[in-house]
Structure 1
Amino acid sequence: MPRNDPPEAPKRRRLWPAARWWFRAAFAFSLVFGCVLLGASAAELAPPPAPSAPPTASAEGGVDPETLPVAPDSPQASMRRFIELCRAGDYAEAARYLDLPPRADGAVLAQKLKAVLDRHIWLDVAALSPLPLGDAQDNLGAGVEELGKIPTRTGPQPVRLVRRTTPDGVRWIFSRATVDRVGEWYARLEDRWLRDHLPPALLRAGPRELLWWQWLALPVLALAAWLVGAVLSFLLRALLRRIIVRTDSTLDDALLEGTRGPLTFAAALLAIAAALPWFGLYQPAEEFLDKVVRAGVFVAVFWFALCAIDAVGGRLLAAPATRDNPAARSLVPLMGRIAKVAIVIVGAIAVLSELGYPVASLLAGLGIGGVALALAAQKTVENLFGSVSIGIDKPFQVGDFVRVDALLGTVESIGLRSTRIRTLDRTLVTIPNGKLADLQIESYTARDRMRLACVLSLVHETTPEQLRAIIEGCERALRAHPHIWPDDVVVRFIGVAPSSLDVEVMAWFETRDFGEFRTMRQEMLITFLEIVGSAGSRLAHPTQTLHLATRDGERPQADAADGGGPANGGRRELRQAPSAGARPSR
């Protein structure tokens, strides 16, 4: 049948794949950059540092320099001031902490030296000596401190401070030998071209020691990495599709289709990790982005788990056993949502912990909340697991005729909390699944055969020949029935009762329909009556005979009233109300 689409419909169909692609790209960018921003703000929620301990004695019996107050003319104070001036962009003032040669541009040298130190020696100012004379145990002599070494082609070269008296007072400054090598060190920086051509504002450090030009480049990197990841994901899925096409299961096909997003995201993370060394990151920035990439790996893994839950849930819903079980059709999506919530919670905690957020209090809160939820939802959870038990064990299905304890009726619905049964009186009884799972359930619909059981009560006047004819005729009639189960047909004389000769009849009909069974039972009972009548016998009525004894040869007073006397020997028969000779049971 042709489709009557409006004129703009083909255009919408052409634009939808492109819009979907851009939506995925925007989602990936938001995911990656969101992790970056979360990590950048993690320091604000970090626990405050522990208070410093009181001064302790060193191994030499003196005082530990790290616990002493910072002297204003110490290496630690001078370097802290130098770094503050450089971060503020006041390189001319920072040049006063350099031992400059004549006619040297101090501001340029200070800027280059700061770039070299940030790239090769990330100064931990708190680790420098707070004493005015510096560290006397470094074997460098009085008035000399070494900050570290710069790797070069000819070997590592030291970066040293010397104690000098300046017009502003005594301070520690970079030595002349260190200042003379700044140009050579700066020329070997990987990002020297960018530093020479970018505006100074973009070269300043932002949050997490990322330069502002690096912050601006990260979104571009994320988008480019997503494009590379999409290509790599497409190639990988094409290779995997060639392998799984040979299998008979459809689960691997659903998993492969659902993992398009996680695979693309993981490949994008791989591209980002490969491109980060070209950014010339400082040590804190490099450590921070490494955490972001590792957090992204957690996101990809838990994303894949969510897609796997969808694939497995769809496969379970398509299974024949689930299609025939309404409770299972309702239970599978619910369990899938519960699993997704659990995965999201665990994944969020793992990502936040990797980014540096304090999650101990969050875990404690989740534990307390879990206990409170378990106590409050105890009955609900009991009914839920009862529904799971019923769905797995399958004692009955919707439409089955069952007996639950003393309740007899038809199962009308099986829910997640309760099961509803329609009784023979057309009332609706609701039983919680938690309680129903512990009750004895008898399913009549599950019968593969239905039993006919009755007792033919014949009169005492029936002769043995007539009794044999009746037994043989009833058994022959049962075995001649087209739906009889021939392995066990019972027609036997079972005893002499006070008012009858009892013949037991028991047989099974191969049918599951109770209406059809009732018709068969009716036909067989009528046949039994015909056989009894043709044999010359009849069904007995329950009777009781009372013998009244005489006293002194006198005639009983009741004889005249009830027909007693010499004619019947002084006997009186009391007959009970007649009842059916054949007593069928269900």
Structure 2
Amino acid sequence: MNIVNEIFQFILRKDMRNLEIFILCVIASFVIGRYTPILIKTIIKRFLTPQIIDIYEKLIYINREALKWSGTSIWILLSLGFIRQYTALYSFLNDVVQLAVILSIAILASGIFRQLIRTYGVAIIRKLGYQADDLLLILETIVNVTIGFIAVLVFANERFNLIGLITGLGIGGLAVAFAAQKTLEQFLGTIVIYLDRPFVTGEYIHLPPSGKFTDSIYGRVESIGFRSTKIRCSGKSTLVIVPNSILANVEIENVTRGKKVMVLLYFDFNQKLLDKGQALVRQVVEESMESLFGVEPDSTKVIFENLILNPDVIINDNSSDANSIEIKPSTTVLATDNNPQLERTKARITFFLLGSNQNSFELRKQLLNIANEKVAHKLNTFGIEFVMQEPNIYIEAPVTI
């Protein structure tokens, strides 16, 4: 009985109550963090305008996983005040939770900026008269690196003397640079290849003759190492080992990425287009697509097809009039009827998108959606309305090796 009383009194101690409160707060933090995106969305709907709601959904709510972790880690950080008397435990958890807060906020900021660029940046850059293409991808990379650098500085500033650290790294870096100049050059070449990614393992590349090698090299990249890259030559099957410092300074032709994607769009017009109407549609579509960066020149084709609605005649048994009928449009066939009210025109549009990687293709698809909206708006000004079939069809056409 005395043991039970001692345990009960130990639990009722003030410091133990603080520890229990902290544990409960941590559990509550996970619950609150899980519903943080929905809670913020509810508050915005209650007090703010629909425009703010739309911005929140497009930029922040789509990154709700990062927002959940940010909310959870922030609440846990606030809960650490209950265990300040446990110095060792508080110091350890404070470092871990601070790192979690910084990382989650950095990931959230990166996601928000990516959505900001892809949602609004494309239209803004095009309005300024510039081509929105790989520039946006480069901008995303620069911003992500900047966010990561700031996150490291914020965390380091909490724990270290940054001035002393940077000074020490600068002196040590100069010593290493003089002692291992060639090795450092190869290492920097490796970094350039991994960041710029002119090729990856498994791709076919062609290297023209240069001052380092007299014959051109064409083959499949087998591996990218710390010092060099191994290329299996086509035809001879020999293995060529090229230092990364050389690859960072020569012209590289990536044969595998020389591919294009055929795009098929279908426009269903709510009327029959005469020759003048078809010519107008063809002109608007070709001008819009050819001005779209990344579309292969002179690849846009517009094919028209006249269709009619084939009516099914159904006797209405519920009507008191035995001769009453109900006309219900159902299937479409090639136009053979002269009834203009049932005739429709359908257009099939094909063209090729060019790109070096999946990110550039995704960006061009977003630009295509903007171009489609412009086509619809321009045709509406001429009284021509259509419905575009969804989704768009993309057929990849890789180069034949």
TM range (shorter): 0.3 to 0.5
So what's the TM-score if we normalise by structure 1? 0.26
Pair member with larger Rg: 1
Higher relative contact order (CA 8 A, sep 6+): 2
Q: Going by fraction, where is strand more abundant, 1 or 2? A: 2
